[in-house]
Chains A and B, each alone.
Chain A
Amino acid sequence: VSPLACTSPLPIDQLVDYELGELPAAAEEAFEAHLFECDACARRLDAVVSLGQRIRRLGQEGQATVAVSEDVLARAAAAGARVRQYRLEPGASVACTAGPDDTYVAIRLAVPLDDVLGVDLEVAFHDLDTGERHSRRVEDVPVDAGAHEVVLLFPGDVVRAYPRSRWTIEARARRRDAGVSLGPYVLDHTPWERLPR
C-alpha cells in the first residue's frame, strides 16, 4: 500500500470508536489489519488521538467549562455515580473539596432571573500556596432555565488534582433587554487530604 494515499480510508466514526475501545472485536481486528498497512489512516488516527488528548488536557487544566442540566446530575446519581454538589447564590462563598470516591463535582451557580439567554463568566483562579493567579472568560454558558442555575460539571479526578485555591466567578447574565451582573461566587478549594480531621 502506498504510504501517500489510501483507496479505502477508515471512516472517522471507526477511528473514534477504536481509540475509545468501542469497536466490536471482529471489526477491531479488521481495523488493525488496515491500520498496519496504511500510513495515511495511521496519521488520521493519530490526529483523532491527539484531539482526545487535547480535550483531556483542557479538562485537567480546568480550561474547559462544561455546563449541564440538573437533569444530567440526577441521572448520573441514579446510575450510581457519586456527585458532590455545591450550590451558591450570587455573593456567596463556599468551602469545597473532592472526596476520594466522588465521580463528579457539580458547581451550581444560582441565576435568580427570568428570560436569561445565556451567561458569560469571568473565572479567576488563585493558588493559595504559590500565589499564582490566572483568569479566563467563558462566554455564552447555557442556563438551566427550570432550575435558574448554571450547573458546571467537573470529573472528580480533575478536582482532586487542584491545589488549595480560591476560585472567584463573576457572571454577566444576558437578557433580551439588558445584561445583569451577578456574583461574585467564591469557591475555596482544599484538597481532601489537607482537610482538618
Chain B
Amino acid sequence: MPADGDLARRVAAAGGADAEAENELCRRFGRRVRLYGLRHLRNPDAADDLVQRVLLLTIGKLRAGAVREPDRIGSFVLGAARMLVHESRRGRPDVPLSETGDELPVVEPREPDPFASERLARCLEALAERERTIVVLTYYGDQDSAGIARTIGLAAGHVRVLRHRAIGRLRTCMGLEEAM
C-alpha cells in the first residue's frame, strides 16, 4: 500500500486524471480531518463540512502543482484544517476554497455497531462505581476532569487516571484491544 506522500505525488502528476489515487487520499485524510473537526468544532455536521472543504482545497492544490512538498502532505492537510477552523471561528465559513468544482468522494462517518450496545451496557455496569461515575459524568454530563473533580471530591489528575483506567477496562471488556 503506498505511503501518503506517494499518493500525493501521483495526484499531482496526473493533474486530475488519477481518480484511484485521489479517492484513496480522500479516504485516508477524510478520517483524520473529521477527527480533527470533531475535536475542535464539537459538531458532527460541522466536522463533515470541514472534511469536504479541506479535501477540495487539498486536491485542488495538488492538481495545480501548488503543493511544494508532497511527502509532507499530512502537514499540508493539517495546516489547511487549522486555517479553515480558524476562519470558521472568525465568522468567515464561506471563503472560496477551490475552483475545480469537482465532486469529491463523500467520507461517511462510521456508524456505531448496534450489536455492541447491550455488551457496552454490561461492561459499564461492571466498572467500579467511582470509575463508572467518572465515565458517566464525562460522556453523558459533558464535564471535564476539573468539573468532575469538584463534583466527586478528587484531584483533576486523579480523575484522569481513573478515567484512563475505566476506558482501558471498557476496551478490554468490549474486545477492542486491537482497534484501540
Q: Whole-angstrom distance between the alpha carbons of A44 and B179 in the complex?
A: 6
With an 8 A cutoff between CB atoms, is A2 at the interface? Answer: yes
Q: Whole-angstrom distance between the alpha carbons of A61 and B140 in the complex?
A: 11
Q: Whole-angstrom distance between the alpha carbons of A50 and B179 in the complex?
A: 11
Q: Whole-angstrom distance between the alpha carbons of A176 and B110 in the complex?
A: 46
Q: Give the chain B neighbours of A138 by CB distance below 8 A.
A: 125
Chain A residues with a Cβ under 8 A of chain B: 1-4, 12-13, 15-22, 32-33, 35-37, 39, 42-59, 61, 63-69, 72, 75-76, 79, 81, 103-104, 138-142, 153-155, 157-158
Query: Range of interface residues on chain B?
Result: 35 or more
- Majority DSSP secondary structure for residues of B touching A: helix
* Minimum-distance CB pairs A-B, first 6: A36-B74, A59-B140, A47-B179, A36-B78, A37-B74, A79-B150
Whole-angstrom distance from the CB of B151 to the nearest CB of chain A?
5
Given A67-B129, A72-B151 in contact, is the A15-B32 Cβ separation under 8 Å? no
Does A75 lie within 8 Å of B179, measured CB to CB?
A: no
What residue of chain B has the Cβ atom nearest to residue A28's Cβ? Answer: B39
Whole-angstrom distance from the CB of A57 to the nearest CB of chain B?
6
What residue of chain B has the Cβ atom nearest to residue A3's Cβ? Answer: B1
Q: B38's contact among A49, A64, A140, A154, by CB below 8 Å, is which?
A: A49
With an 8 A cutoff between CB atoms, is B43 at the interface? Answer: no
CB within 8 Å of A: which B45-102 residues: 74-75, 77-78
Whole-angstrom distance from the CB of B13 to the nearest CB of chain A?
20
Q: B120's contact among A39, A58, A155, by CB below 8 Å, is which?
A: A58
Does B35 lie within 8 Å of A45, measured CB to CB?
A: yes
With an 8 A cutoff between CB atoms, is B9 at the interface? Answer: no
Q: Give the chain A neighbours of B74 by CB distance below 8 A.
A: 1, 33, 36-37
Q: Which of A12, A61, A140, A158 has the most CB of B within 10 A?
A: A12
Q: Whole-angstrom distance between the alpha carbons of A104 and B152 in the complex?
A: 14
Given A3-B28, A21-B39, A36-B78 in contact, is the A58-B1 Cβ separation under 8 Å? no
